[in-house]
Each structure stands twice: as structure tokens, then as C-alpha cells.
């Protein structure tokens, strides 16, 4: 093995892994809520690890590391027993909090009553499951403030979910790059208006920053805000013609789930501020006309991002339009380094 291919270890290696698979000590979206029906279970992968989601008959949701504490078998292959999972291999039962409740082959075994399986806290919002992924120094969930469009009763939103073969950072960077709308999406829906040249600025906010055009607003994909409220999300707005119905501009809340080093789950809530009869009109138009157009735009993003080489960010020639992307990279890299340094100082790596 050459020096170029030798994997890094220790502090630097852990920072690289966090940067590749997703920041810890934050909430992340995992999958849409509809993926786990009452009484159902689903194996998922997030932040480079395997997990099991299961839902009780009353709708309560639990998440467990997909690993039996006995011999490491996959709990996702086991039986759903209502409020716990029985491993298929030897029948060991684990409840939604990760505690072993029974060892059928040896009742009274020392495993019983011990919390031996990682069980991240979960919340549901806007039709999606969010989970908190902490490290050894931060096991308890941090504060989570959900995006306003997902909680505002005067806003109606549709969740669109897909999985792309692209690193999570590239998917986030795409959202912090408004100028690509003028070119990649020029023939799509409402993205053909406005100037093909622009200047950008970063404007700080209490929860993150805006990356916006200085000479155009309300014409195309002219601005995006990165919001860091316990979960990272972006907010952006696309102007709509009157033919698209009531509600004013079309907003998008976007989140990215780091599945592993090379795959991402992308969550896009398309929203408009509508109530009463306008909500019904908007929902009808969206389902019958607009949704297909939006999936076409997402396909353009997917095609472009999946075609990028894995090391695309190592040999670039950036310019002023890339300030938002550069800021994002520095932010995430610094957090990955900080998390690794904290664990190293405490002797965990």
C-alpha cells in the first residue's frame, strides 16, 4: 500500500470521516414518515451506519442501531413485537429505547435490563423523520427549531424525496449555488427569466447566512438562505406566474441526509402561503400540473451531480459566484475538525 492510499487515522482520520459521512451532534432527516407504517419496520442507512426504524401500532416511532447486542445480527431481520424487536438469530428482545428486555434462551441473563443498543431521539415534521446523531461527548439531543414553512398553519407544503448517488456535501453545495438555475434549469418551468450575469454577496443572519444576487430579486433563483437551527436547511424562493394559481412565490425548504460517503437522501418541501379555498386550488394545480415539472428540475440536478467525479472539489477554479459554496465548505470542515479534536482530547479516538 502506497502512502497515497494509506488511510488516515486518529484525529485527522476521524475529521475526514465526519466530513465525508455527515456532521454529528445535529439533527438530520432520515426518510419520509410514510416509509414506516404503524406496526411496520424499515432498515435505513444514515451517516454511514445502519439503523432500524420501527413504529408501534399507536404511531409512536423508534430508531435503533441495526445490530443485536448479543452477536451483532441485524435486528431488521427480526420480528416486530409491538413495543420491541426480537432478533431472529437467538430471539433476544430489544425495546425502543435500546434496552434488552428478554433473553428467551436464558431467562435472567445478565444482558436483561441493560441499555446496549444505540437509540437516537427522533421527531417527525412535515412528513419526514428526523433523528439526532450525537457523538460520545454529546449524547443528548441539541435544541431543534423546525423550518417555519413546515409549522406555519398558513403555509401548505408537499414533501418530495429522492436518493442520489452523490456525496451529501455536493448536494448541499448545489443549493448554495443560485446561479446554476439560470443555466442548468433555463428551459424549466419559471427558471428562464432574468439576467445571465450577476454579482453576489453573503449577508449574515442570526441563524446562518443569505447568499444573494445584488442586482436582481424576485425574478429567478435569486437568493438562498442557509439556516442552522439544530438541523441544517435551506430556504429559497422561485417567482410564479399567475397561471400557477394563488399563493405568491413558490418556496422550497431543502434538507440533505448523508446516507454514506457517496449517497444522499434529498428532501425538498415545495410550499406556498395559502389558506382556505386557495389552499385547495394550489393543491389541485400542484398535483395535476406543477409536480411533474418540479421532478424534471430535480432530475437535471441529479444528472449533473451524479456525473461529477468524487474528487471534483479538489481541482477547481472558483470565482465570485462560488462564495456561498466556499463559505459552506469552510464551515463544515471546521466543525468536522472541532468534533474530532474534542473526541481526541477526551480519549475517545
DSSP 1-27: --GGGPPP-HHHHHHHHHHHH--SSEE
Cell reading at 210:
443569505
Res 312: pLDDT: 92
Mean pLDDT, residues 30-44 taken together? 98
Give pLDDT, residue 244: 80
The pLDDT, as a whole number, for residue 11 is 81
In residues, how long is the chain?
Answer: 349
pTM of this prediction?
A: 0.93
Is 39's pLDDT higher than 60?
Answer: yes
**Which secondary structure element, helix H or strand E, spans residue 128, and what is its range?**
strand 128-133
Q: Provide the grid cell at 105.
A: 434462551
pLDDT at site 240: 82
- In this prediction, residue 8 carries a pLDDT of 54
CA separation for the pair 190, 147 (Å, rounded): 24
119 near 324, Cβ under 8 Å?
A: no
> Is the pLDDT score of 2 beyond 60?
no
Q: Helix axis angle, 168-175 relative to 323-345, nearest 10°? A: 140
d(CA 169, CA 328): 9
Q: How high does pLDDT run on average in the chain?
A: 93
* SS3 of the chain: helix, strand, coil, percent, to 5: 30, 30, 40
Nearest-angstrom CA–CA distance, 260 and 169: 11
Q: Looking at the DSSP assignment, which residues form a beta bridge with residue 236? A: 224, 252
**DSSP label at 142?**
P
CA atoms within 13 A on the CB side of 221: 26
Residue 84 CA to its chain's centroid (Å): 27
The answer to whether 185 and 297 have CB atoms below 8 angstroms apart is yes
The whole-number average pLDDT for the span 250-255 is: 95
Confidence bin at 189 (pLDDT 50/70/90) = low
Instruction: Give start and end residues of each alpha helix (H) in the chain.
Output: 10-21, 148-151, 168-175, 180-183, 276-285, 291-306, 323-345
Query: What confidence score (pLDDT) does residue 108 get?
Result: 96
Confidence (pLDDT) at 192: 67
Q: How many CA atoms, within 13 angstroms, populate the side-chain half-sphere of residue 261?
A: 6
Neighbours of 98 (CB within 10 A): 18
Span 225-234, pLDDT tens digits: 999 999 999 9
pLDDT band of 267, cuts 50, 70, 90: very high
> Which of 175, 176, 221 shows the shortest CA–CA distance to 194?
221
pLDDT in tens, 135-164: 999 999 989 999 999 999 999 999 999 999
Secondary structure (DSSP) of 184-244: TTTTSTTTT-S-S---EEEEEETTEEEEEESS--SSSS-EEEEEESSBEEEEEEE---GGG
Amino acid at each position: 500500500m502506497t502512502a497515497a492510499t494509506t488511510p488516515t487515522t486518529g484525529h485527522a482520520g476521524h475529521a475526514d470521516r465526519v466530513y465525508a459521512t455527515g456532521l454529528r451532534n445535529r439533527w438530520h432527516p432520515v426518510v419520509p414518515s410514510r416509509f414506516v407504517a404503524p406496526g411496520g419496520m424499515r432498515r435505513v442507512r444514515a451517516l454511514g451506519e445502519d439503523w432500524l426504524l420501527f413504529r408501534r401500532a399507536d404511531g409512536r416511532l423508534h430508531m435503533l442501531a441495526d445490530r443485536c447486542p448479543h452477536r451483532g445480527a441485524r435486528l431488521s431481520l427480526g420480528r416486530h413485537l409491538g413495543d420491541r424487536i426480537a432478533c431472529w438469530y437467538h430471539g433476544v428482545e430489544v425495546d425502543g429505547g435500546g434496552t434488552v428486555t428478554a433473553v428467551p434462551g436464558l431467562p435472567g441473563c445478565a444482558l436483561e435490563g441493560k441499555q446496549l443498543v444505540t437509540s437516537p431521539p427522533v421527531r417527525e415534521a412535515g412528513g419526514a423523520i428526523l433523528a439526532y446523531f450525537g457523538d460520545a461527548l454529546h449524547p443528548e439531543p441539541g435544541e431543534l427549531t423546525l423550518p417555519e414553512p413546515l409549522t406555519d398553519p398558513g403555509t401548505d407544503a408537499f414533501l418530495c424525496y429522492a436518493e442520489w448517488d452523490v456525496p451529501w456535501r455536493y448536494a448541499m453545495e448545489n443549493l448554495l449555488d443560485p446561479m446554476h438555475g439560470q443555466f442548468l434549469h433555463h428551459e424549466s418551468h419559471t427558471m428562464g427569466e432574468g439576467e445571465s450575469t450577476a454579482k453576489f454577496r453573503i449577508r449574515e443572519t442570526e441563524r446562518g447566512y443569505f447568499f444573494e444576487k445584488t442586482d436582481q430579486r424576485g425574478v429567478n433563483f435569486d437568493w438562498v438562505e442557509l439556516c442552522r437551527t439544530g438541523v441544517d436547511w435551506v430556504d429559497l424562493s422561485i417567482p410564479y406566474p399567475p397561471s400557477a394559481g394563488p399563493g405568491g412565490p413558490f418556496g422550497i425548504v431543502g434538507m440533505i441526509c448523508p446516507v454514506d460517503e457517496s449517497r444522499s437522501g434529498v428532501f425538498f418541501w415545495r410550499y406556498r402561503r395559502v389558506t382556505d379555498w386557495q389552499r385547495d386550488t394550489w393543491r389541485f394545480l400542484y398535483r395535476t400540473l406543477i409536480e411533474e415539472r418540479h421532478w424534471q428540475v430535480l432530475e437535471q440536478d441529479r444528472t449533473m451531480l451524479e456525473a461529477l467525479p468524487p474528487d471534483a472539489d479538489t481541482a477547481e477554479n472558483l470565482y465570485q459566484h462560488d462564495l456561498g459554496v466556499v463559505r459552506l465548505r469552510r464551515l463544515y470542515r471546521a466543525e468536522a475538525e472541532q468534533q474530532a479534536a474534542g473526541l481526541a482530547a477526551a480519549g475517545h479516538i
